[in-house]
Structure formats: structure tokens, C-alpha cells
Structure 1
Amino acid sequence: MATLDITRLRSLVTVASLGGVRRAADALHLSQAAVSGHLRRLEAELGFPVVTRQGRGIAFTTRGEDVLREAHRLLGEHDDALNRLLGPHTADLVVVSTEHATEPLLRAVARVLARDYPDRSVRFRFHRTARVRESVHDRSADVALGIGDLGHGSRHIADLPLTWLGPADRAPDTGKLIAFTAPCVIRERVLASEAAAGRALARECVDLVGLLSAVRTTGGITALPRTPDREPGLRPLVGLPPLPTIPLTLATSRRLAPATRHAIGSALRDTGRDDE
């Protein structure tokens, strides 16, 4: 009988959220070989392919997308059960983040938590902002990083610039827009801006891997926060109308000491200025 290993599922979800094995490995503090091994062993256990190579990147198979949906649900239930069984002061510290938070921002959070809580492990969970907002509401996150309003007590950290991206191997079809499914702050800001005029919404995607894959396969364009490294198979586009910025927002749990909460906000703002 097949079983689903939590560690392998966590690698799968992180790969999907961050758009690749290397970024997932960095976030999970594992080697790329370890994360790739988790995916291969998960596929061997299930008996069918979950991901497939697409140029230098990866895409999810149809059945892989089903696995991903179940993985999100199972990991949420697993982590909630740990919090109930171990209590908020003995369980791991949980950072729930949008996939658009950069590695320097996540490392800044991890450094503060490691300094102030050296005896507790830090666990990262990556979701769309709607789920990040839920983690603030149900108090399952010690630190939450998302796009836009996260609810009571959320604080603005930085305005993230958006960049047009298209396929690297051909001229993009600039009239064809690829976006995340609603609700999504990036989608809402882009569609409401003058930059979207005359562009048809060609495809909607539930996660970052699906979005990047759709741009490569359809030749359309999308808008994502600018990051220091480029997406495999994609290139930034110039000459298109300017895009709006999106707000990166922080929420912290009162389970953390006030000094820790203040230090996290300061570290994120300092890191955001360094990235500009």
C-alpha cells in the first residue's frame, strides 16, 4: 500500500510554490539532489510521474497537479495537528510566506528567529496569499509574509516592482496575458492597470510552476515581482507599458516576544532597501 511521506510532500509543495528545485532547496536548507530525490521517491511510491522536465524548468503532470492539491491539504492538517499536540510554545516556529518573498527576506526572518529562539526549529510553508491570510486568521503562523492586507495587525514592509516576462526562445505574444487564478493581488493590480489594455486573459494558473509553464508553452506574457535571478526559459520584456507595484505585508503572532516581532519588521525593511 502506498504511503505519502510528509518530508517528500513538503519538498513537492515548496518546488511548486517557488517555481523550481533550486529555490526549494535553498528555502528548505537542503541540497538540490535531496529535493530531487524526494520527488523521485514520491513518484516511485505513487507509481506515476508527478513532474516533467520543460527546458531548464519543470512542470506538473495532470496527475501531479492532483497530488499537489492533496499535498497542500495534508501538510496543513499535519502541521495543525502538531500545534495541537505539542502546543504553540514547544512546536516548531512556522513561517507562512507568499512564493514571491525573496530568499534574502526569508533569511532575514530566519536569522532573527534563530537568534531569539535557538532551541526551536523554523519551518517554512509557501502558499498563495489567500492561504497566508487564512494562517493569520486561524493563528497557525508565527510569521506571515503576503501580498496586500493580511488582516488585523499586518504591517507594510515594501512595495515590490512588477516586471513583464515572456518566453526566452521566441518573440512573445504580448496580447496574450497569463495570470494566477483569483483571488490574487498581482492579477487584480495588473488587470486594473492601463498596462493590461488590449490584452486577453489567455490562461489562469493555480501556482507558480503552472504559470511559468503556461508562459513557455503558449508564448504569452505575465507579470511577476522582479527578482535578482531570472526564471529558466523566460526573459524580462522591455518596451511594454509600466506596471504597478504590489505591497509586501508582514503579520506576526503574539506568541513571539514583542522585541522579536519588532526585530523581524526592522530586518525585513533593511533587507528590502538593500535589494533595491
Structure 2
Amino acid sequence: MARINFEQLKTFLNVVRLGGVRRAANALNLTQPAVTARIKNLEDSLSCELFDRTSGGMKLTKRGELLVAHAEKFEQLSELVEKDVVEPGGIEGRLRLGVSETIAQCWLPELVTALHDRFPKLEIEFNVDISVNLRAGLMDREIDLAVLLGPVSDFSVNNIDLPGFPLAWYAAANGGAELDPAAYLQRPVLTYARHTRPHRELKEMLFERVGPDVSLFPSSSLSACFRLVEADLGVAVLPRVLGEDLVAAGRIVEFDPGWVPGPLSFTASYLGEPKSHVTETAAQLAREVAVRFFADKNS
């Protein structure tokens, strides 16, 4: 029997878990031919077929099912070696980080810095998106760690709670002031993007407290919302930590209509299998950085 390497086993497990070559290739940042070649080389090394290939997809053979258990043991052993033996400064690889825009505008730079200090050889790849897309990327194994409006309610996901973001209502500083703060809500209301929890919750509260004729303008960009508020094109309820500097600069004003949605709750979420010391450490660092960020803001 030819020598088996761990990359082949890792590729095999990804094909099994994700249900096909294409999704495994995306998760591993490889081409589909490269994944196919690794599986073929593994089968040649073992002198057996691991998958039944049909028009309906790839199904494990009996020997393929046996290999899964052994490959997972190799995977767990490799993770223990990386965690207990390898110095953090020597750990290489790639961490795919997905964050919501709220996080990107607050403490993402501090998190990337902390990760680089802990794992200087680690390649950190990150993208900013709405939470529904980040959740999908996490479940498809295209993201290793998602910092999003959570938690992600799935048995396979570990969630670490992060400090929440209190919200506040904002209007243009140079717009017409209302004697009754509740009257501001007769103006267009800029909200989070559709298909997000903050949008749904705010829509329900506005319909209940203001009425069905309220005008909602959804946006996937918080910075755009603040610019539109400043231009007096509407009002918005947004994270107070992001609005403080604009209020201090006299560009927008805060108002109180008598109610405000609850704070935005974020989690650092990652898949529990396969276990990854780097991803777990990154999630813990996210919490440490977030706690420190708000402590500095409140000091």
C-alpha cells in the first residue's frame, strides 16, 4: 500500500461532510480537479473505491464508511498536536473570518491585530456581510468563524456571547426639530437590510407603535444610513457607539420617542466539528477584544 497523507484524509472528510467535490473545493480553497485528484490518489493508495459515483452524486461505499471513523481519529490527533505541542508562533494555515458591518466599524482591527500577534504565520482572510449570509457561509464551511447577530441555532455550532450594542434614535442636526420627539417617526425610517432580525423587529415595533403607514427604507450599509440621516432624508435607530462621534461633531442629533429596540446581540460562532484550536482561540479573542473595546469606551 502506498503512503497516505493527512491532506488526502482531510479532503476525503470534507467531501463526505459537504456532500460533494464542488463544495469541498470551496471549503478547502482548491480547484475541483485538485480535490478529485486527491480522492483518486487516496483510493489508489488503499486499493479500493471509497465512493459510488452516480448521476445523483457520490455515496460512500462500505470501505468508505469504515475510513470515515479512522480519518476522524487522525483529524483529532492532528488537532491535539497543534494545540498541545506546536508553538502558536509556528502555526500556519488560513483563518476565514466573516463579520457583520457593525463589528467591522468597531473592533475588527483590534481582533485582526490580536490574531496576528498570537499566530504571526496565520493567513487571516475576512469578509464583511449581513448576518444571514454569514450564517450560510458558516454552515457551508466557507467561513471558519462568523461574528454575527446570533446565536446560530444549530446543534453543530458553538456560540460565544459577545457584549451587545445599545441602540439610539438619530435625526439630522440641521433638519427641522420636532416639539414631540415621537413625531420624528412620521418621517422615513432607515433600517437594517431586509431578511435581518433587526429589520424584522423594528418593523413590528413601528407598525405597533406608529401604524402601518410608516415608511421603511432598508439598507445593508450602516455608514450609508448615517449619511442619509445627516442629509435629513430620514431618521434611524442605530448603534450608539457608532453615532457618538457624529453627535459630538454636530452632524446628527439623538432623540427619544419613548422607546427603542433592544441592544443588538452578537456571537462569535463556529462549527464544533472538526475541532480547531485556532478557530476556538480566535472566538475567545473576539470576546476579549469586544469586552476591552466597550470597557475603553465607558472609561
Normalising TM by the smaller chain, what interval? 0.5 to 0.7
How far has the Cα of 1:221 moved from its partner? 0.8
CA distance in 2, matches of 1:272, 1:222: 22
* Residue in structure 1 matched with residue 246 of structure 2 by the alignment: 230
Match of 1:125 in 2: 127
C-alpha displacement of 1:233: 8.9
Give 1:137 deviation, angstroms.
1.1
Q: Pick from 266, 284, 290: which aligns with 1:262?
A: 284
2:252 & 2:238 partners in 1: Cα distance?
A: 12
| Distance of aligned partners of 1:134 and 1:115 in 2 relative to their CA distance in 1, 3 Å threshold | same
Letter of the structure 1 residue corresponding to residue 202 of structure 2: V
In the TM superposition, 1:111-260 aligns within 5 A as: 111-151=113-153, 152-171=157-176, 173-176=184-187, 177-193=189-205, 197-198=209-210, 200-216=214-230, 219-227=233-241, 228-230=244-246, 234-243=251-260, 244-252=262-270, 254-257=275-278, 258-260=280-282
Give the letter for the 1:129 counterpart: S
The 3 A distance-change label for structure 1 pair 213 and 238 is closer
Q: Distance in 1 between matches of 2:288 and 2:194?
A: 31
Q: Distance in 2 between matches of 1:234 and 1:186?
A: 24
Q: Which amino acid aligns with 1:238?
A: F
Aligned residue pairs total 198
Q: How far apart are the structure 1 equivalents of 2:129 and 2:226?
A: 16
Give the Å deviation of 1:131.
Answer: 1.1
Note the aligned Cα RMSD (angstroms).
3.5
**Structure 1 Cα separation of the partners of residues 284 and 218 of structure 2:** 37
Distance 1:206-1:267 versus aligned 2 partners, 3 A rule: closer
Tell me which structure has the larger Cα radius of gyration.
Answer: 2
Work out the CA distance in 1 between the residues paired with 2:289 and 2:217. Answer: 37
What is the SS of the residue equivalent to 1:158? Answer: coil
How far has the Cα of 1:123 moved from its partner?
Answer: 2.7
Residues of 2 paired with 1:150 and 1:210: CA distance?
A: 27
Contact map agreement 2:268 2:287 (CA 8 A) in 1? yes
2:147–2:267 contact (8 Å) kept in structure 1: yes
Runs of 4+ displaced beyond 4 Å: 79-82, 231-234
Deviation at 1:249, TM superposition (A): 1.4
For the Cα contact (< 8 Å) 2:102–2:222, is it kept in 1?
Answer: no
Q: Which amino acid aligns with 2:173?
A: A
- After TM superposition, the structure 1 = structure 2 runs for residues 20-35 of structure 1, keeping only pairs within 5 Å, are none
Judging changes above 3 Å, is the alpha-carbon distance between structure 1 residues 101 and 259 closer, same or farther for their aligned structure 2 residues? closer
Q: Answer yes or no: is the 8 Å Cα contact 2:171–2:232 preserved in 1.
A: no
Q: Does the Cα contact within 8 Å between 2:104 and 2:128 map onto a contact in 1? A: no
Cα 1:273–1:233, aligned 2, differ >3 Å: closer, same or farther?
Answer: closer
